[in-house]
Structure 1
Amino acid sequence: MATKALIIPAAGIGSRMQKDIPKPFLQLGDCTIIEQTIQRFSSLDGLKQVIVPTSKSYLGATKEILQKALPADVEGIVLVGGNTRQESIHKALKEAGDVHLIIVHDAVRPFVRQEHICNCCEAADLNGGAVLGVPAKDTIKKIDGNRIIRETPSRKYLWQTQTPQVFQKELLMEAYQKASEDDFLGTDDSSLVERLGYTVVMVEGDRSNFKITYPLDLELAQLLVEKGRGS
């Protein structure tokens, strides 16, 4: 059984939600979104640490959430995040202990299924890296700077990437260090690993693992919790 550390970046302000409170700390059912998210991982076999980079003003609240949500044998670490998601995760990586796998998951994806988490971890253990995703259901258009359509890629090879994204620790640390040295800003963790030529496998999840980004997403999440479909 591979030992694991979970990183949940929660330092963003979430301006698209049009709320004063950052998205992870909004109420969802009887607790916050981030607490719902952590609960999805708290009983994961081999989990040793949960590391949450957040804003300075939410350090105390985050520590309380970890103390309540984590089993006694899982270490909770809270730190002040960086100016970007990538910087926050790089800081969190430096706090990771002697584990084999690093799991990175969005704080605002509270409906991920544990079977998909396990599948992603197993694939990363075998291949070096793995990400959860679903096949693209809409036709994707590639446009130019004038919004003129230049290409319609086949959906056969297009997937919508989610989290968790899981990597062998040394591989992910190398990727983040190289990105820092090159001043490269990726769109996700996998993009940093891919640019070094390492293998990252796509693992199929489902569409219930959506990211709460806009007010409509929050309304849907609340509806799922009320109807007991968030489990």
Structure 2
Amino acid sequence: MIRVDQKTAAIVAAAGMGTRMGAGISKQRMRLGGKTILAHAVERLCASGMISECVVVVPAGELALYEDLVRQLCNEEDVPIQCVEGGENRMASIRRGLEKLSEEASLVLIHDGARPFVSLDTIRDCVDKAAQTGAAVAAVAAKDTIKVAAADGVVESTPDRSRLFLVQTPQVFRRDWLEQAHRLAEENGWDATDDSALIERLGHRVYLVKGSYFNLKITTPEDMVMAEAILAAIAPAIGKSTSKEQGGTV
């Protein structure tokens, strides 16, 4: 059931061509366990009961193909889903997704179309935290030591690992904050690799929510190998909220 206190619209970022994958098709259309990577991601968002609508931002020139894919999704919650072609970069693509949303939603959830294993708990926790604070993103603690290096490879510093987190999606924000952030980014030429960085530039606090190490973003062929292993491990729990599915956390 959709929460009645405030509606949350989802934007799924799936406009990238996935050149690092080297598969000849956009990575979101690659198959994993009998369905596309994108299908896994969108179906789990719809199954969460937390979103009132979903816009999938797709590669330019592939709109009809993705509209056909979306029609085949398992969508028992009957969430309205539509597709829109993306822009020249991620920020432009998210702006196009925002323009496609209806007026009813006061929160916007952004999710990578190449993250097929987002847990239902993570989706719900991010939405609940954003409803309280205005901005919430899934994240996990960094396991490896991180180095800051110059262009020539010389190490410049080693940040304190205990304060470092790997940010994932979903990322959920107040709609007015997100629209303002993207408007200013377009006007001032700001660039960012995720939307939370734009919210931070406005001076708003962004809160971390417990994510999962299973919530892998598939980018390279090595990631597909790991994704197949993850799918085998959590297949019995797909669509359910379980402690096994959660894996490692912040």
Q: How does the TM-score come out when normalised to structure 1?
A: 0.94
C-alpha distance in structure 1 between counterparts of 2:178 and 2:233, whole Å:
38
Structure-2 change in CA distance of 1:149 and 1:96 (3 Å): same
- AA of the residue aligned to 1:115: D
Deviation at 1:218, TM superposition (A): 0.8
C-alpha distance in structure 2 between counterparts of 1:111 and 1:73, whole Å:
21
Query: Unaligned stretches of 5+ in structure 1?
Result: none
C-alpha distance in structure 1 between counterparts of 2:26 and 2:170, whole Å:
20
Identity %: 34
Taking only aligned residues, the RMSD between alpha carbons, in angstroms, comes to 1.5
1:211 maps to: 217
Q: Is 1:14 the equivalent of 2:11?
A: no
Q: Is 1:79 the equivalent of 2:73?
A: no
C-alpha distance in structure 2 between counterparts of 1:41 and 1:74, whole Å:
9
C-alpha distance in structure 2 between counterparts of 1:126 and 1:46, whole Å:
15
Query: 189-198 vs 140-149, which deviates more?
Result: 140-149
Query: 67-76 vs 208-217, which deviates more?
Result: 67-76
Deviation at 1:147, TM superposition (A): 2.2
Aligned to 2:94, which of 89, 95, 104?
A: 89
- AA of the residue aligned to 1:158: L
C-alpha distance in structure 1 between counterparts of 2:212 and 2:35, whole Å:
24
Query: Unaligned stretches of 5+ in structure 2?
Result: 239-250
Q: Give CA deviations for 1:117-136 in whole Å, capped at 9, x if unaligned.
A: 11111111111101101011
Q: Is 1:63 the equivalent of 2:67?
A: yes
- AA of the residue aligned to 1:182: N
8 Å CA contact retained: 1:116, 1:205 = yes
Q: Is 1:179 the equivalent of 2:185?
A: yes
1:101 maps to: 107
8 Å CA contact retained: 2:57, 2:94 = yes
1:31 maps to: 35
C-alpha distance in structure 2 between counterparts of 1:144 and 1:224, whole Å:
35
8 Å CA contact retained: 1:123, 1:129 = yes
1:156 aligned counterpart, secondary structure? helix
Aligned to 1:149, which of 134, 155, 165?
A: 155
Structure-2 change in CA distance of 1:71 and 1:59 (3 Å): farther
Over 6 Å off, 4+ runs = none
- AA of the residue aligned to 1:8: V
8 Å CA contact retained: 1:48, 1:73 = no
